[in-house]
Amino acid sequence: MIVKPKVRGFICTTAHPDGCKAIVKSQIDYVKSQPHAEGFKKVLVIGSSMGYGLASRITAAYSFGAATLGVIFDKPANGSRTASAGWYNTAAFEEFAHADGLYAKTVNGDAYSKEIKDKVIDIIKKDIGKVDMVVYSLAAPRRTMPDGTVYSSVLKTVGEAYTNKTIDLKNNTVSDITVEPASEDEITATIKVMGGEDWQDWINALKAADAIEENAVTVAYSYIGPEITHPMYADGSIGKAKDHLFETAKAITNANNGIKAYISVNKALVTQSSAAIPIVPLYISILYKVMKEQGVHEGCIEQMCRLFNTKLTKNNAQTDEPCRIRMDDWEMGESVQNAVNKLWSEISGDNLDTHADLDGYHEDFYRLFGFNADGIDYDIDVDIDRNIENV
């Protein structure tokens, strides 16, 4: 099949298998080229097929030679429908890892469910005994509870409505958008989906099954960002869920069973989930421009490689005062934020070319789905069926 991008709203409904493979390969090559600290050796990554989770898995495998077990929620190809990008990324990662003699297995299904937790724990016990690191990198729109109740997360403010600039990426126009406040029920639901309850459930289940080392480390990801995004993010419904995630980290560590839990506050980047947040894509386009100009731009793989090789290693965790790892240190640096603020106050539909890196935003968006990869001919037929072993 000849596979072209079909974008609907914030997602692309097609993905290119060879493009995804080339992009996974370029991330592996990046990690191989970097210095390696002493890291974790048996790593479970929950949400390992895209974005920060995929980059965490690649870093663990190629910085430390770690055995990795991934949990994904993806779809294989079906007839003329391509597989999801996460499926192709995982198939490619496993192919490279196996060729390089690394243990890599993946479980495809709903990470929130008991069934998937049991399946993962069985594999750990059979194949690697215990894990020494758990990365929790889910970004999900909804969570189904054991009794069938479904909670959906929302990206709204808390308290008052908030108006600021946003970009329509279909036609690159800037306009004002007003984001309405979430109801109490919506806030509760967002915390259920994106807060720490399920992370805690995973750690409890691993501990109860004796499938996690006594000195294991677990990390989940969060975002803070500058003030212009606070009503939408840090102080919004998703921020309430992230507060809960942070409290969960403390609770896991305070359980005093040797397991240490951390929140890593990561940089704003184009991923499937961030593309859906109002206001944030315009901020990211400006941020990309500034960080590229100042020579401090990073993608997911650079962030995760720096995290696991410098700030969260086997013997060391560098945290700020409330005990968070700050991978957003370069994003939040004064010279970056001053430049972003100036451009934000001036930006309009007339000066997008000079004030934002829209090409960089679009390029990264298409790359999420395997398009825009170097060396791939998108006009030739490609086999869209790819296998993930044991899935």
361 C-beta neighbours (distance < 10 Å), count: 23
Smallest distance, ligand NAD to C-beta of residue 380, A:
28
CB 347 within 8 A of CB 358: no
Q: Nearest approach, Cβ of 128 to ligand NAD (angstroms)?
A: 20
52 vs 365, which CB is nearer to ligand NAD? 52
CB 308 within 8 A of CB 264: no
Closest to ligand NAD by CB, 140 vs 177, is 140
Nearer to ligand NAD, 307 or 349 (CB): 307
Q: Give the strand pairing for 260-265 and 212-222.
A: parallel
**CB-neighbour burial class of residue 282 (10 A; exposed 0-12, middle 13-18, buried 19+):** buried
Which one, 47 or 278, has the nearer CB to ligand NAD? 47
Strands (E), the chain: 7-8, 11-12, 42-46, 67-72, 104-108, 131-136, 142-144, 150-152, 162-168, 173-179, 212-222, 260-265, 312-313, 316-317, 324-326
Residues that bind ligand NAD (CB under 6 A): 47-53, 71-74, 86, 110-112, 137-140, 221-223, 266, 268-269, 271-274
CA distance 364 to 55: 14
Q: Is 288 part of the annotated catalytic residue set?
A: no
Q: How far apart are CA 129 and CA 151, in angstroms?
A: 34
- The single-letter code of the amino acid at 329 is D
In whole angstroms, the minimum distance from the beta carbon of 317 to ligand NAD comes to 18
Shortest Å distance, C-beta 252 to ligand NAD: 16
CB atoms inside a 10 Å sphere around CB 205: 16
Q: Which of 88, 136, 233, 283 is catalytic?
A: 233
Smaller CB separation from ligand NAD, 47 or 76? 47
* Least distance between ligand NAD and beta carbon 28 (Å): 17
Helix axes 280-293, 358-367, angle to 10 degrees: 110
Of 73, 75, 86, the residue nearest 144 (C-alpha): 73
CB-nearer residue toward ligand NAD: 35 or 148: 148
Give Cα separations from 220 to 26, 139, 224 (angstroms).
25, 11, 14
Nearest-CB residue for ligand NAD: 51
Q: How far is the CB of 96 from ligand NAD (least distance, A)?
A: 17
176/209 Cα distance (integer angstroms) = 51
Catalytic center residues: 233
